[in-house]
């Protein structure tokens, strides 16, 4: 077997002036130390293709903007120098589309997680990624299914209980489409597929932790697991930025108590102000201004401690003598308990957040960095997912994030710190 590291005496770049391929060698040399070493292969049977070589080829696909695995196979077959740069032996058959599909489907996700985490730790060591403020967000990933093509007919297209024949792991999700030409214009769009959830550095706009899950899993369910990974990496941000979807007592409490950071998350409009005001003594008043009867305290399904109040006319003889019926003729008076109201009596973290302060608004404006993170990743490789199934999709998305981290590391190590987010301008400098 030929040594994959063996160099050609006369390079194809020299004969045909394919200079950019030489620049990819610098990228792949930066990648190699972060890839876990493989066990030696038995001498019996066909030689095993290196995971490093397959990963290098897929990163090339991302940075070149190739849409399909077939395009990648074609480039490798027609360009021996590219195959050599990726680590495939001279004169050996290049990998097929099925080889790459199997690699994406069957490789344990931990293999790619180790590479991504190692790169993040190296960026921290180089003091380029400080993660003083991190932003959490998600982006839809449409599955390659006919249900996503509105020009085709499909029975029960938007039935959330449906299992797609083409991709059994894909689920029905929702995304919001904003019209840039109309202020406050938004349109709900359903799709089948997955969501990429990412915690990124708000200043360098680089991904730190990420997870790909079916599209029907809400962002708020993924927030705490991602922040736990942040803690495991030894990262202690000053602030965590997110949109109103993350406005929950559980998430805010985890950010304050476990991450030891400030939450920069706006109030969710779903939290309504009670129609029954509270008196100075902490007792609810009904709409007629009568003090409501205390009916005990309990914990709701979100573990919030609340006190319940009921109609005073129903449960106080003294008040019932003065008001035999509701003075306001409220329709709920016909119910057994009449009007009911609740008062939260445990600590609400939102009371300690100054939503109107200039500091809160300034930091929250950094949330747009997450949108640019996804914009670059989508441009690189997520416009047309060439794989199916959760395992393969999760691996493919992680490779996309590895590609952006690799560009940043290569830029730093070659003295081009201003190019950490711009691959096309970086290769011109290498």
pLDDT per residue as tens digits for the range 193-242 = 999 999 999 999 999 999 999 999 999 999 999 999 999 999 999 999 99
Which among 25, 91, 97 is positioned nearest to 67, based on CA atoms? 97
- Residue given tokens 């940075």 in the structure block: 63
Sign of the four-CA dihedral 127, 128, 133, 136: negative
- Is the pLDDT confidence value at 32 over 90? yes
Q: Assess whether pLDDT exceeds 70 at residue 387.
A: yes
The pLDDT of residue 14 is above 80: no
Segment 266-285, tens digit of pLDDT:
988 765 556 778 777 778 89
Q: Which helix (H) or strand (E) segment is 292 a member of?
A: none
Q: According to DSSP H, which parts of 308-382 are helical?
A: 312-315, 317-322, 358-364, 368-377
pLDDT at 270: 67
* Domains of the chain by start residue, with CATH: 12-107 (no CATH), 130-267+361-390 (3.30.420), 269-350 (no CATH)
pTM of the model: 0.81
CA distance linking residue 409 with residue 424, whole number of Å: 15
Q: How far apart are CA 324 and CA 293, in angstroms?
A: 16
């Amino acid at each position: 077997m030929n040594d994959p590291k063996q160099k050609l005496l006369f390079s194809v770049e020299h004969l045909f002036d394919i200079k950019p391929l030489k620049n990819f060698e610098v990228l792949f040399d930066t990648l190699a130390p972060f890839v876990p070493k493989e066990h030696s292969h038995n001498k019996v049977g066909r030689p095993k293709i290196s995971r490093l070589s397959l990963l290098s080829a897929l990163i090339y696909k991302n940075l070149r903007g190739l849409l399909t695995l077939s395009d990648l196979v074609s480039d490798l077959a027609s360009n021996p120098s590219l195959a050599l740069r990726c680590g495939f032996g001279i004169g050996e058959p290049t990998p097929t589309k099925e080889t790459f599909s199997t690699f994406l489907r069957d490789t344990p996700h931990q293999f790619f997680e180790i590479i991504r985490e190692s790169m993040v730790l190296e960026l921290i060591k180089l003091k380029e990624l400080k993660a003083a403020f991190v932003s959490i967000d998600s982006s839809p990933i449409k599955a390659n299914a006919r249900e996503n093509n509105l020009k085709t007919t499909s029975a029960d297209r938007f039935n959330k209980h449906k299992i797609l024949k083409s991709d059994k792991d894909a689920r029905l999700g929702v995304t919001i489409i904003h019209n840039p030409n109309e202020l406050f214009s938004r349109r709900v769009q359903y799709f089948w597929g997955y969501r990429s959830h990412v915690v990124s550095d708000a200043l360098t706009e680089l991904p730190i932790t990420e997870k790909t899950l079916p599209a029907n899993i809400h962002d708020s369910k993924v927030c705490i697991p991602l922040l736990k990974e942040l803690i495991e990496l030894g990262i202690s941000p000053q602030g965590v930025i997110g949109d109103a979807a993350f406005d929950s007592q559980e998430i805010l409490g985890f950010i304050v108590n476990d991450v030891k950071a400030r939450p920069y998350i706006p109030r969710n409009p779903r939290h309504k102000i009670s129609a029954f005001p509270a008196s100075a003594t902490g007792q609810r008043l009904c709409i007629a201004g009568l003090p409501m009867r205390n009916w005990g305290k309990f914990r709701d399904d979100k573990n919030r401690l609340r006190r319940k109040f009921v109609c005073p006319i129903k449960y106080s003889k003294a008040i019932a003598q003065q008001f035999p019926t509701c003075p306001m003729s409220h329709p709920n008076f016909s119910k057994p308990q009449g009007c009911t109201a609740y008062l939260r009596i445990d600590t609400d973290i939102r009371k300690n957040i100054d939503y109107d302060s200039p500091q809160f608004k300034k930091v929250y404006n950094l949330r747009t960095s997450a949108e640019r993170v996804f914009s670059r990743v989508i441009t690189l490789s997520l416009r047309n997912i060439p794989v199916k199934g959760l395992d393969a999709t999760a691996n493919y998305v992680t490779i996309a994030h590895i590609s952006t981290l690799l560009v940043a590391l290569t830029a730093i190590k070659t003295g081009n710190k201003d190019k950490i987010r711009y691959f096309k301008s970086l290769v011109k400098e290498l």
